[in-house]
Structure 1
Amino acid sequence: MAGPTLRDVARRANVSIRTVSNVVNGYAPVSDELRTRVQAVLDELGYRPNLIARNLRQGRTGMIALVVPELDVPYFAELAREVITAARAHDYVVMIDQTDGDAEHERALLGRDSRAAMFDGLLLSPLTITAKELRERGNRVPIVLLGEHIFNGSFHHVAIDNVAAAFDATSHLLDLGRTRVAAIGDQPYATGETAQLRTIGYRQAHARRGLPVVDELVVPTARFHRRLGAEAMDRLLALPEPPDAVFCYNDLLALGAIRALTRAGVRVPDDVAVVGVDDIEEGQYSTPSLTTVAPDKAAIAHTAVDTLLSAINGTATSSAAEVVVPHRMIVRESTTG
């Protein structure tokens, strides 16, 4: 049985079909009294708009894409869930893809014949593409950038303050009285901007207290994966004077580090305290549970989706919005027992 139509609602509310359409689609101003009356009938009859027909009329697909480097990194999976929730509130469907952090995969999204043109807009967490490449892209699909790749305010961009996050994590360890705080995850090359910002925060926390940074305690990793965290921790444990605390640049590195410490018979946090970043769910249930810097993933998702939809609808207040989303320290067993 077919559902109620705009004509049915108009007849019941004693208004024109155009008025009902304006209420449903928000096309034109409608008085509060009239909007309330029409909405009551919409609710009474259980009217649901035909989204496919609406999108066709507007030249839209009703879909946005979320493109991240690695779907099997829990942070991106948890962020994707929040993005889907935020988009659903606006009747948008989210398609998800990954680039593997590969430059060619990222650049392929920018071409005139790119699959990105299938969508009304794109949420992109890039690692390699430059601001110049974005400005000169062949398609004009609205884009909001996620993550910490630096674009100097040239595009819509939503991220946390990585320097401040790393400063807070390192300060937490130093304030516990730890004297040899290591860092796992530095990436001193062009695509490692997130890691570089976290290294700056790590160094600033030491400088604020007049403490030197011991270079051998800063261990780079090619990616932010568990195995690499464990390997870096093994390297640190092999030093003549191992660290008594470790700031890991994400939770996966931290979980790998904890595994290496446990395997070596080193107690966490008694002998070595460990902090991560991302507040992934796995860290709540690790042994010990993981102290972490928690970005507000829901705020990142809602801000990014709202910004993208404003760009799609032509209602964005500026051509570039740089939004910094809050973070907080969550102290658990890996630093305080």
Structure 2
Amino acid sequence: MRTVTGLREVAERAGVSMRTVSNVVRGTGRFSEATRQRVERAVEELGYRPNSAARRLRTGRSGVLLLAVPELTMPYWAELAEHVLREAAARDCTLLVEVTGGRPEAELEIALGHTDPMVDGIILSPLALDDRAAARAADPAPLVLLGERVHDLPCPHVTVDNTAAAREATEHLLARGRRRIGVVGRQLAPNAATSATRLAGYREALEAAGLTYDETLAPPVTAYHRSDGATAADALLDLPDPPDAVFCFADTLAEGVLHAARDRGLSIPADLAVIGFDDIEASRYMAPPLTTVAPDKRELAHLAVTALLEGVNGTRQRHQKVLRAAHRLVKRAST
């Protein structure tokens, strides 16, 4: 028995359109009993996901979920996707993963449900989603949002308390006696929620310690890649009065900072303490191992998949709800 990779082959075998196949397996739209039987027979003959096909024909749901993230080359997103995949599998669901590149038009298409018609629901981590345009969806697929920005949409939003986490990271550096603390991760884009929420926590900690926020210690970055961290570190270390510590809004940025510091012969943490955010696997093996904020990725995945399936099954209340996963500070040799 061979496996079909899409709806087209089922539609051709049954002699109907792909939309009709989708309507039959979802139990939506109009079709005759004879059409239903032809589609069901084609599904069985072609062996198209036999277990989930039976569920589709019985319940109108496919058991297929979509996770859409900005990119998978960033370790954080790859690791989170792995947790979401495991959580979906534990619920007998299949997970599709799509990369948006952070493009507003790609995020909007996904938020509007313009995806594979077999997808039951969507977990989306947007960077530049237009809430007003997304709210115009006539009959959107169940949607859960991931990330720091709270959207004005009637769907669950899963996140961590980024401001509190950033405040704790900065307080850790202050407790180590550091007073000139640079920050790497400030972005100037209007929807840069990661930057805004984490910068707020950093500033709160400085203010509580009686220190003034100095924008020269917060060079802007365009992205959160290693090269961006290295470039920002060079700008900080070229200052007449360079920092004695750096808080990075992502571990990949911290990796770039460590690289730039080593190139200058600096000792970590004696000359420069460095702390990151995300607790990616590589942070344990950096030189030295990186102190970092660890969002509970497993809990993020659990909350997101649970909320999505509640929407798919119609058991979730319609009002917006923010769901927060835990975080903790992991102390290692870089501070």
SS at match of 1:274: strand
Q: 1:74-109 deviations in whole A, cap 9, x for unaligned? A: 111110111011111111000000110111111222
Secondary structure class of the residue paired with 1:122: strand
* Residue type of the alignment partner of 2:156: H
State the partner residue of 1:295.
Answer: 295
Residues of 1 paired with 2:125 and 2:111: CA distance?
13
**Letter matched to residue 244 of structure 1:** D
Letter in 2 for 1:81: E
Q: Look up the match of 1:101.
A: 102
Which residue of structure 1 aligns with residue 17 of structure 2? none
User: What's the counterpart of residue 67 of structure 1?
Assistant: 68
In the TM superposition, residue 55 of structure 1 has moved relative to its aligned partner by 2.0
After TM superposition, give the deviation of residue 300 of structure 1 in Å: 0.3
Q: Contact 2:275 / 2:334 at 8 angstroms: preserved in 1?
A: yes
For structure 2, which runs of at least 5 residues remain unmatched after alignment? 1-49
After superposition, the C-alpha distances for 1:142-169 in whole angstroms (9 at most, x for unaligned) are: 0000011222574210000111111011
Number of residues of Structure 1 aligned to a counterpart in Structure 2 = 286
Taking only the aligned residue pairs, the percentage that are identical comes to: 43
- Measured in 2, the distance between the counterparts of 1:60 and 1:127 equals 29
Cα distance in 2 between the residues matched to 1:154 and 1:170: 34
**CA distance, structure 2, for counterparts of residue 315 and residue 305 of structure 1:** 13
* Separation (CA, whole Å) in 1 of partners of 2:152 and 2:266: 43
- The answer on whether the counterparts of 1:117 and 1:139 sit within 8 Å (CA) in structure 2 is no
What is the rounded CA distance, in whole Å, between the counterparts of 1:238 and 1:195 in structure 2? 23
**1:116, distance to aligned residue in structure 2 (A):** 4.9
Query: Are the equivalent residues in 2 in contact too, given 1:110–1:116 (CA < 8 A)?
Result: no
Q: Distance in 2 between matches of 1:182 and 1:230?
A: 13
SS at match of 1:171: helix
- 2:237 & 2:204 partners in 1: Cα distance? 24
Structure 2 partner of 1:151: 151
Q: Which residue of 2 aligns with 1:130?
A: 130
Q: How does 1:200-215 map to 2 (within 5 A)?
A: 200-215=200-215
Letter in 2 for 1:61: S
Q: What does residue 281 of structure 1 align with?
A: 281
Query: How many Å apart are 1:138 and its aligned residue?
Result: 4.6
What CA distance in whole angstroms lies between the structure 1 residues aligned with 2:268 and 2:111? 46
- Do 1:116 and 1:141's aligned partners in 2 also have CA atoms closer than 8 Å? no
- Counterpart AA for 1:321: K
Task: Name 1:238's counterpart in structure 2.
Answer: 238
State the distance in 2 between where 1:282 and 1:170 align: 22
1:216-252 Cα shifts (integer Å, max 9, x gaps) = 0011111111000000001111100110000000000
Pairwise CA distance, 1:117: 3.6
CA contact (8 A) 1:153 1:321 kept: no
Cα RMSD for the two superposed structures: 1.5
Alignment of 1:245-264 (within 5 A): 245-264=245-264
CA contact (8 A) 1:188 1:196 kept: no
Q: TM-score, normalised by structure 1?
A: 0.82
> Which range moves more in the overlay, 187-196 or 133-142?
133-142
Counterpart of 2:162 in structure 1 is: 162
Query: 2: distance between equivalents of 1:185 and 1:110?
Result: 27
| Structure 1 outlier segments of 4+, above 4 Å | none
Query: Can you list the C-alpha shifts for 1:269-305, whole angstroms capped at 9, x where unaligned?
Result: 0100000000000000111000000000000000100
3-state SS of paired residue (2:219): strand
Code of the aligned partner of 2:320: A
Query: What's the secondary structure of 2:334's corresponding residue?
Result: helix
AA partner of residue 90 (structure 2): A
Counterparts of 1:60 and 1:94, CA distance in 2: 14
TM-score (norm 2): 0.82
The residue aligned with 1:216 is 216
Is the deviation greater in 200-209 or in 311-320? Answer: 311-320
CA distance in 2, matches of 1:230, 1:91: 43
Partner of residue 4, structure 1 = none
Deviations 1:294-334 (A, max 9, x none): 00000000010001000000011443221111100000010
CA distance in 2 between partners of 1:154 and 1:53 (Å): 31
1:46-65 matched pairs, under 5 angstroms? 50-65=51-66
CA contact (8 A) 2:52 2:62 kept: no
Contact 1:64 1:95 in 2 (8 A): yes
One-letter identity of the residue aligned with 1:127: L
CA–CA distance in 1 between the matches of 2:268 and 2:332? 11
The alpha-carbon deviation at position 193 of structure 1 amounts to 1.1
Superposition pairs for residues 3-14 of structure 1, below 5 Å? none
Give 1:191 deviation, angstroms.
2.2
